[in-house]
A and B are shown apart, each in its own frame.
Chain A
């Protein structure tokens, strides 16, 4: 078997059971009683209608899934098609919707446990009275979250067994029901209004199919198996729901369901009546398995959604850190777990079910819109194996019915959902927009046809575009003498990446002085005119390169350490700073801060020992490694900007091997036109010799922690002080940010 086959190990049955397993737990084991009491004989219609709406969206989800079999499913498609504003809505709705649904499943789980064990109605915990169902639900949720936190590959496979078992139990149940069914038993219908309201509540039974798409990348032959699993699971559960509902309403006396005591579970009592105690036990057991497997699959699916959101920087990628021992996305699972526990503690069965329904209906509506956008914009790489029949009617109907069903859900829940959507929109503008760089197909489509499109659409599209894609080179300035040189270096990097320069002047303010006071009385702390002049010069210099530039004066009690904070605050992709003398205040005092930064660098760093900016002849020593890659990039930027002659230097034991390595290394980094120089012997001596007739030496940090050693004066490369040209030290970013380390 190839690696690909091993990575994609979900066969058609496994994919189907993810959908069926997530859906069946909720629907049939918890909700029939409510449905029958509220809608009468139309309860069956409610389930059929819910299935119909789900099916329309399942078709769209299948097409999108075969075109983009990526982790994250629905969120990914919406974000990809409609852009990160809607992506933010879909991601949050999907994540929270799954948490609400899981809380609801756990309520069901609590009812089943209560029914088996027999418990008092409520417990008194200090000042609180907690119903026993809630208590078991909380314990159950904690258990399933813990299992997934630690991770057990067995749970995944267990799901298949559970689902097959459930379908078998329910099949037997419906056969018995059919034998006893009499139309005379059917309760009267309660009319269309209650039927639609009921559909809104029971729609939580149809959330599972979209979870299949969130593991689409793991499905074998997704072009074939994904649509089968998605559509098949909706059809299968719809049929099962309808048959069970028919059995429950037609096989027992009309008043039977309504006459049950509060702690009795309708489906279990009916089974007891039809099949005796064994039947009741089977259904009890089934209910336990079903609610548990639904919750389990939902927790796993939500970590995929978190991952996809983090990859697009809609949430912080640190949420998706993998546990070093368990290999699980433990933070994501823990946060989802806390949400589930909070929702159980705060909610009621009905509120949780309808919250889960509404949030998913929003996603389903957006999914259909995403499909229409993909079809209309028709990007070159959009090539689905499965196509929605009767386009555009199917997705339009899917969108309308999904959004319309929301209207029949209670106003409080709608208000809460609207608040969550508004929250997601705010989240996009306040948090995600400056970080994400992914532009939706819709935005690209509208903006690329700006002339033909209505002005309102164009301005709306450009108004919500992400700006995280902007490559930002932060250049802190202190010394007017080196300003032009630093800006020249920074501008070359910015230009090569289509980005901008952010010039900062950091003014140190004594600890005892309030920063607000300092801002109003800037002259007391620095020569304000000089500061202004420094930034103005920087602006002119950068503009000479045709690079956009912004300037900021930053007041801080610290000076050196502030450089790193400011770089982080200004979303730096690269930090260009001077070194030596008094470039940035007294480094000695800032060592601890640098310690913090140097362990993990959230951006690339270039440190220039400035002996005059002359990039005409550059020497770049290399032994491979990511920092030298950054050095290579810098050499390339300068070559492209200034036509620099680049000399690559490699020190090897064996000259021939060294030459082979260097030639390949250079070719991979678009530096094949550089002069290759392979030396043997002492590295530092070789660098010194090569640098003798160069104007600039670009050195990748050979080890991590360059910055720390630079500041503490323990940098081993004495050669940097010996050479006479300017030296640029390059240290590549490492993914963890300061925030991530605080959380970790």
Chain B
């Protein structure tokens, strides 16, 4: 398990998500001496009009990566970034993890809302269910102490 946080794929959905995830996850990665692969998945319609233009989504990915690079630079963690196009967000995350030889995928669950999840898809669930390498869920840090004891790990079959 010592290698689990060697090279961690962090999927980010928004700038706020990036801030929260970095706050929650980076301390662990610093401890483990690992590095970060920041991933933003652009969900494609797969042959229809997308909900937002690709150039617009790429610009948005840049904004997110700025937040992440900042946080990683402050924490002294090496950080790579990757924009991934996929028709399914979870698939895109795992594709990126394979392409970047990641040791795990880590995330912090966002505030859930069953109705919204039903409507727009529950990516947390897809991430955990579709896993083919370790998926680590970190507790959110709500402004104060880092809860170090509350690590939830979910493991799927390793890919290579």
Contacts and interface: CB of A to CB of B under 8 A. Distances in A.
B42 A7 contact: yes
B14 A6 contact: no
Interface stretch (A145-153, A189-197, A348-356, A706-714): A145-153
A328 interface: yes
Contact of B57 (A9, A153, A160, A322): A322
Interface in A261-314: 297, 300-301, 303-304, 307, 311
B53 interface: yes
Given A3-B83, A324-B14, A626-B69, A303 B44 contact: no
B51 A148 contact: yes
Contact of A157 (B13, B16, B47, B59): B47
Given A217-B54, A328-B52, A7 B13 contact: no
B52 A624 contact: no
Given A324-B16, A325-B13, A9 B44 contact: yes
B85 A6 contact: yes
Nearest to B19: A704
Nearest to A653: B76
Interface string B62-92: 0100100110011010000001111100000
B132 interface: no
B53 A297 contact: no
A6 B70 contact: no
Contact of B53 (A11, A18, A304): A304
Contacts of A14: 47-48
Interface string A409-448: 0000000000000000000000000000000000000000
A659 to B, nearest CB: 16
Nearest to B83: A3
A132 B59 CA distance: 43
A702 interface: yes
Contacts of B49: 10, 18, 155-156, 159, 215, 218, 297, 300-301
Nearest to B99: A3
A722 interface: no
A215 B56 CA distance: 11
Contacts of A11: 47
A545 to B, nearest CB: 32
Nearest to A70: B55
B17 interface: yes
Contacts of A734: 66
A311 B55 CA distance: 10
Contact of B43 (A150, A327, A626): A327
B148 interface: no
B66 to A, nearest CB: 6
A333 B91 CA distance: 28
A10 B47 CA distance: 5
A9 B56 contact: no
A151 B54 contact: no
A704 B56 contact: no
Nearest to A218: B54
A462 to B, nearest CB: 31
B54 A7 contact: yes
A695 interface: no
Given A148-B51, A160-B47, A215-B53, A625 B69 contact: yes
B45 interface: yes
B120 interface: yes
A329 B16 CA distance: 16
Nearest to A17: B48
A623 interface: yes
Nearest to B111: A325
A704 B70 contact: yes
Which residue among B45, B66, B83 has the maximum number of chain A CB atoms within 10 Å of its CB?
B45
A72 B59 CA distance: 14
A327 B44 CA distance: 11
A213 interface: no
B47 A307 contact: no
B46 interface: yes
B116 interface: yes
Interface in A431-478: none
**B: contact size bracket:** 35 or more
A153 B43 contact: yes
Contacts of A702: 74
Contacts of B43: 153, 327
Interface string B1-20: 00000000000011111000
B50 interface: yes
Which residue among B16, B43, B56, B116 has the maximum number of chain A CB atoms within 10 Å of its CB?
B56
A511 interface: no
A735 interface: yes
A634 B107 CA distance: 37
B60 A322 contact: yes
Contact of A153 (B73, B87, B119): B87
B44 A6 contact: yes
A156 B55 contact: no
A158 interface: yes
A153 B51 contact: yes
B47 A71 contact: no
A382 interface: no
A6 B73 contact: no
Contacts of A71: 53-56
Contact of B50 (A153, A160, A623, A703): A153
B114 to A, nearest CB: 14
B112 to A, nearest CB: 11
A318 interface: no
A624 B73 contact: yes
A322 B56 contact: yes
Given A71-B53, A703-B74, A157 B48 contact: yes
A46 interface: no
Interface in A614-673: 623-626
Contacts of A304: 53, 56
Contacts of B42: 7
B120 A326 contact: yes
B18 to A, nearest CB: 10
Contacts of A320: 56
B84 A3 contact: yes
A324 B17 contact: yes
Contact of A152 (B15, B16, B51, B110): B51
A159 B48 contact: yes
Contacts of B83: 3
A328 B51 contact: yes
Contacts of A218: 49-50, 53-54
Contacts of A324: 13-17
Contacts of B85: 3, 6-7, 9
Contacts of A157: 45-48
A498 B110 CA distance: 45
A702 B88 CA distance: 36
Which residue among B45, B49, B53, B70 has the maximum number of chain A CB atoms within 10 Å of its CB?
B49
Nearest to B46: A9
Given A14-B48, A625-B69, A327 B57 contact: yes
A401 to B, nearest CB: 29
24 contacts: A6-B44, A7-B42, A71-B54, A150-B120, A151-B52, A152-B120, A153-B46, A153-B48, A215-B53, A217-B54, A218-B49, A300-B49, A303-B53, A304-B53, A304-B56, A307-B56, A322-B56, A324-B15, A325-B13, A325-B14, A327-B13, A625-B69, A626-B66, A703-B74
Interface of B: 13-17, 42-57, 59-60, 63, 66, 69-70, 73-74, 76, 83-87, 110, 116, 119-120
* Top 8 A-B pairs, shortest CB-CB distance: A156-B48, A324-B14, A156-B45, A6-B85, A151-B51, A625-B73, A157-B48, A71-B53
Given A70-B55, A153-B48, A324-B16, 6 more contacts: A153-B50, A156-B48, A322-B56, A327-B43, A327-B52, A329-B56
